[in-house]
Amino acid sequence: MSIGRYFTEMLDPSLSWSDVAEMVREWNGQFCLKGVMSVEDARRAAEIGCTGIVVSNHGGRQLDGSRAPFDQLAEIVDAVGDRLDVMMDGGIQRGTHVLKALSVGAKAVGIGRFYLFPLAGGGRDAVERALGLLRTEVERGMRLMGCASIGQLSGGNLRFRQRIQTTSDRPRRVPPTPEPPGRPER
């Protein structure tokens, strides 16, 4: 089976929130839902008992013009980060990307493509080298920010570009969303 066919057939458009709620009840343990891309879906996941979510657009395969997971992360963390663990998957290509996601509030990040390409090109040795480089970049970035631990990362480490709001006929500039006061350390 081709990878394209696999992903096409594995997606079940009939899956509903009540199906997910039933899975959560039957599992009766930690349950993480992947593919959350909106505050509304994040809140719904928390309400039905999920203990974690992965903010992910599944590599952009379904909607390649949609917002990236990182674009959604801050507002999702602000909405539900105190109720469940929020992780992010997608777009991680270097250590600074990991630091940005953790600074916004992700508890962890997924790095699927980051190691798949080295694996395909050079096997285990290439994956180990890539992961070593990623670790070095994370450690260097933390030192440059003056952070000795992941728990010291916060949104204050980042500068956000202005967002463009397009709710009317003409786009208009909207100031960046300010960092909420008193975000607890991880």
Predicted pLDDT of residue 165: 47
Proportion of the chain above pLDDT 90, given as a percent: 62
pLDDT above 60 for 59: yes
CA–chain centroid gap for 107, Å, is: 9
Which residues, in sequence order, are bridge partners of residue 32?
A: 52
Residue 161 lies in a domain: no
Q: Are 74 and 105 in contact (CB under 8 A)?
A: yes
Active-site residue set: 58
Predicted TM-score of the model (pTM): 0.78
CATH classification at residue 31: 3.20.20.70
How far apart, in whole angstroms, are the C-alpha atoms of residue 176 and residue 29?
38
Structure tokens at 41: 């879906």
Domain presence at residue 159:
no
Inside any domain, residue 160: no
User: Is residue 75 one of the residues assigned to a domain?
Assistant: yes
Instruction: Provide the number of structural domains found in the chain.
Output: 1
Q: What is the pLDDT of residues 15-45, one digit of tens each?
A: 899 999 999 999 999 999 999 999 999 999 9
pLDDT of 169 reads 47
Say if 147 falls within a structural domain: yes
Is 56 inside any structural domain?
yes
User: What are the C-alpha distances in Å from 20 to residues 16, 17, 171?
Assistant: 7, 5, 37
φ and ψ at residue 45, rounded to 5 degrees: -60, -40
If you average pLDDT over residues 144-156, what whole number do you get? 92
pLDDT at 167: 46
Print the domain residue range for 95.
16-61+69-151
pLDDT, tens digit, 9 for 90 and up, residues 85-130: 999 998 899 999 999 999 999 999 999 888 888 999 999 999 999 9
Nearest to 46 by CA among 56, 60, 36: 36
Question: Which pLDDT score, from 0 to 100, does residue 11 have?
Answer: 72
Convert the pLDDT of each residue in 153-173 to its tens digit: 988 888 876 554 444 444 444
- List of residues 6+ apart from 155 with CB closer than 8 A: 74, 103, 104, 105, 179, 183
